[in-house]
Structures are given as C-alpha cells and as structure tokens.
Structure 1
Amino acid sequence: MRILFAVLRTVVAVAIIAAIVGQLITSLAFWSSRDVTNVGSNIVNFFSFFTIESNIAAIVVLAIGAYVLIARRGADPEWFQVTRAAVVTYMVVTGIVYNLLLRGIELPQGATLEWSNEILHAVAPAYLLIDWILAPGRRPLGARRIGIVLIYPLAWVVYTLVRAPFVVDQVASTDYWYPYPFLNPNTSPQGYVSVAFYVVLIAAVIGLTAAGVLWISRRWPRAAAETRQAS
C-alpha cells in the first residue's frame, strides 16, 4: 500500500509539473503573439494565481509524501501532516471554485491549454482528496488547525488586492490586473462590496473544507489502521 501511494504521488506530481510548464509555455507564446513587452510582469501574474500556487504546493507535498511513505513506517511527522492538510484544503477549494464559478470563463493567463487546465483544476484536486482519505500514514488533527490553514489564503487575498491596481495588463489594455473576475472591483456589480462578499464566502468555504479535511483525519486515522493491520 505504501509503495503504491508513493508511486501515485510521484506520477501526479510529475503530471502537475507538466501541466504548469505546458500552460506557461502556451501563455508565453500567446503574449508574444499579442506583442506584450512586460513579459516579466506577466510571469509574476502567472505565478500569482491561487491555482498555480496551490498546485506548486501540491507538488512539494506529494514529493515529500512519496519519500515519507518509503522511508518510514507509522504516522507521518506532525509538521508534514498539518502542511498536507492545508494543501489538500487549498486544492479541493480550487476544484470547487473553478468548476462552480470559473469554468467557461477566460482567465487573464493567455490562451488556455485544455489538458493542463483539467489537471490543475480537476485531476490534481481529486487525487489530493483521495490520497488524504486512503493513503497510509495520516494522523488525527484537531479542529484548532483551521486557523493555520487559513493563514495562506488570507495572505494571498491581501497580496492580490494590494498589488492588482498597480499592474498594467497589456493584453486587456487595463491599468490593473486581477487573477479572477470576482476579485475585480472594476467589473463587479457593487465594486469592493461584491469583492468583500466573495472573499468572505470563499474564506467560509475554505474554513468548512478545512474542517472536513481535519474531521476525516480524526474519523479514520490511517496510521492507526496500518498499525492494527501490521499487528
């Protein structure tokens, strides 16, 4: 079981890397076709998407997780378990938000590479959740860890809203750049009121998702199950 999930984690990590690189190459070609000159700024924009950052975090967690499964027995280290719970939460929320709010909407990354899009927004989030439920080594985590899980998303929102008004988007010919439409006060029906509503809503979704992820760890601790089977 441990070897199987170590292999699966490695395969999914490689698939995510390929998806990110493939989309970046596609975006670079798109910007070139539009005579975009601030390529450096656009690359920063690319890596400012919550989806991209969450998937990069997933690559790191999957790689470490594959090593941990091979190198040790029993429960995963607590620091890794908390980090993994946070990344699983971000990936599940990425899948939920994209498929409910953003699927079919062209995002400001340039032309979308479809297979990459599906890996980043559907395949990877689904695997991270399945891995959390079924892979060995998971230890129970208390609900107080929700606060830790919320730190990164809140920091990302602050970073996005502070940076976006100062970024020139040559593709859309605007003097601002927002990664997602619901964070853009210039196009939202009620401006920052609408943005605040979506921020609170997504924070609530992240909190509830984190609560569910942590509950799974307590309801079915895989390290304990593995120990019982070994005995």
Structure 2
Amino acid sequence: MRRTYGAIRFVAAAGIVVAIVGQLVYSLSLLEVNTSAFLWNFFSFFTVLSNCLAAVVLVFGAWYCFRMPADPPWFNLAHTSVVTYMVTTGIVYNLLLRNISLDQGTTLGWSNEILHVWAPLYLLADWLFAAGRSALLWRRLWVVVLFPVAWAIYTMIRGGILDWYPYPFLNPAQPAGYIGVVLHVLLITVVILAIAAGLFALSRVRALQPPD
C-alpha cells in the first residue's frame, strides 16, 4: 500500500510541474516586457512557490514510500508545512482572487485550476490518508510560519522598491492603504496557524508512531 501512495505522489508531483511550466510557457508566449523581470515576478507568487515546494515534497515523499516503512521526522514537519501553504493557497484564491488574472499574462485555465484547487485538495488528502506519518510536537508549530513570514517581508520590500505586488490585497495603493495590507496579512497568518494547528492535532490522534 505504501508503494502505491509513492507512485501516486510521483504522478501528482509531475502534474504540478506540468501546470507550473504550462502557465509559464503560455505567459512567456504573450510577453511584451523584459523576460528576466517577468520570471522574477512569476516566481514571486506565493501560489507558484508553494506549488514548487509541494512538488519537491511529493517527490521526497514518494522516494520514502519506496525506501522506508515510515517517513522521517524532518519530512513529516516539512510535509505538514507545505500542506498548510497549499490549503491556504486554495482558500485565499477561491475567496479573494478567483476572478483576477495574472497581471503579466492571461491565466491558463487548466493550469490555474490545478495549482489553486486540485493540487491543494490532493496534498490535503495525501496528508490525511497516506501511511507513514508520525505525531508532530506542538513546540515545532512555529516552523510552519517561517516561509510565509519570509515571503511577506520579501514581497513588501521588493514591492516598495519596484512598485509591483503579486496580489492586490498586498498593494498599499488599495483603498484601505497599509492598514488594509496589515489586516489581510494578519488574517492570512491566522488562517495558516489555524490550519497548521489542526494538522498537528490530527497527527497526534492518528499517528503511526509516537512523537519523536
């Protein structure tokens, strides 16, 4: 059974990579601005970065499914973190961004659905049902927010320099200004922590192994 999960993880990782590359190639075909600037912008989207991380985690997870009877502790924490980012991506996109296209190119429909809907759903299902997961320690919960916080700081600094923000709710030019930005960031942080806390709790209820 664990090998079956491993094979599915490989396929899912490939699907995510195809979706990322598909959107990238399609946007490049419509490009009328500097290519290097576009690529930097493209890989500044939280959606793209979280899906890249998801593909990497799925490949590692698949490898462990074929090589080990259970996932190592570091992978369990990384897996949970990435699942949190992907679920957050799905929630934020479907609540705030579904009708907004990428500003540097037309959104590719099938790729958009994979990256914002199907990949988050799969990552969550994989985390819930794949064998080999162990319990997570509550004192490691803070690790989950490191990447989102670093991304937010990077985005605001870069946005202030280049006057470019990947998402409208991060742009201080919005009607509510910086207060709106802060409120959105705080809300998303709460969502991330809530999702992560739920996953940590579930890991301790349905763990294959005791906390490491």
Instruction: State the match for 2:180 in structure 1.
Output: 194
**Structure-1 residue corresponding to 2:7:** 7
Q: Is the 1:54–1:87 Cα contact (8 Å) retained in structure 2?
A: yes
- Residues 132-154 of structure 1 deviation map (CA, whole Å, 9 limit, x = unaligned): 01001100002222200001100
> Which runs of at least 4 in structure 1 moved beyond 6 Å after TM superposition?
none
Cα deviation, residue 219, structure 1: 1.2
Q: TM-score, normalised by structure 1?
A: 0.88
CA distance in 1, matches of 2:197, 2:61: 22
Helix, strand or coil for the counterpart of 1:213?
helix
Shift of 1:223: 5.0
Q: Distance in 1 between matches of 2:197 and 2:139?
A: 9
User: Gaps (5+ residues) in structure 2?
Assistant: none
Aligned residue in 2 for 1:30: 30
The total of aligned residue pairs comes to: 210
Local SS of the residue matching 1:79: helix
- Provide the rounded CA distance (Å) in 2 between the counterparts of 1:127 and 1:207: 20
Q: What is the CA RMSD across the aligned residues, in angstroms?
A: 1.1
- Does the CA-based 8 Å contact 1:2-1:69 persist in structure 2? yes
Match of 1:170 in 2: none
User: Distance between the aligned counterparts of 1:90 and 1:162, measured in 2?
Assistant: 21
Cα deviation, residue 97, structure 1: 0.5
Residues 2-48 of structure 1 show CA distances to partners (whole Å, capped at 9, x for unaligned) of 121111101110000100000001111121xxx31x21011010001
Q: Which has the larger radius of gyration?
A: 1
Written as runs of structure 1 = structure 2, the 5 A alignment for 1:43-192 is 43-73=39-69, 75-167=70-162, 176-186=163-173, 188-192=174-178
TM-score when scaled to structure 2?
A: 0.96
Matched residue SS, 1:54: helix
Map 1:208-219; keep pairs closer than 5 Å. 208-219=194-205
Q: Deviations over 1:154-211 (max 9, x none)?
A: 00000000001322xxxxxxxx21100100111x222101000000000000000100
Preserved contact between residue 134 and residue 222 of structure 1 (Cα < 8 Å)? no
One-letter code aligned to 1:13: A
In 2, Cα distance between the equivalents of 1:109 and 1:138? 39
Aligned counterparts of 1:223 and 1:40: Cα–Cα separation in 2: 46
Residues in 2 aligned to 1:135 and 1:115: alpha-carbon distance in whole angstroms: 26
* Secondary structure at 1:189 match in 2: coil
Asked whether the equivalents of residues 178 and 184 of structure 1 are also in contact (C-alpha less than 8 Å), the reply is yes
Aligned residue type for 2:29: A
In the alignment, which residue of structure 1 is the partner of 2:192?
206
Query: Aligned equivalents of 2:97 and 2:104: distance in 1?
Result: 13
The change in CA–CA distance for 1:136 and 1:109 in structure 2 (over 3 A counts) is: farther
**C-alpha distance in structure 1 between counterparts of 2:208 and 2:129, whole Å:** 7
Whole-angstrom CA distance in 2 between matches of 1:96 and 1:144: 26
Aligned to 1:227: none
CA contact (8 A) 1:146 1:211 kept: yes
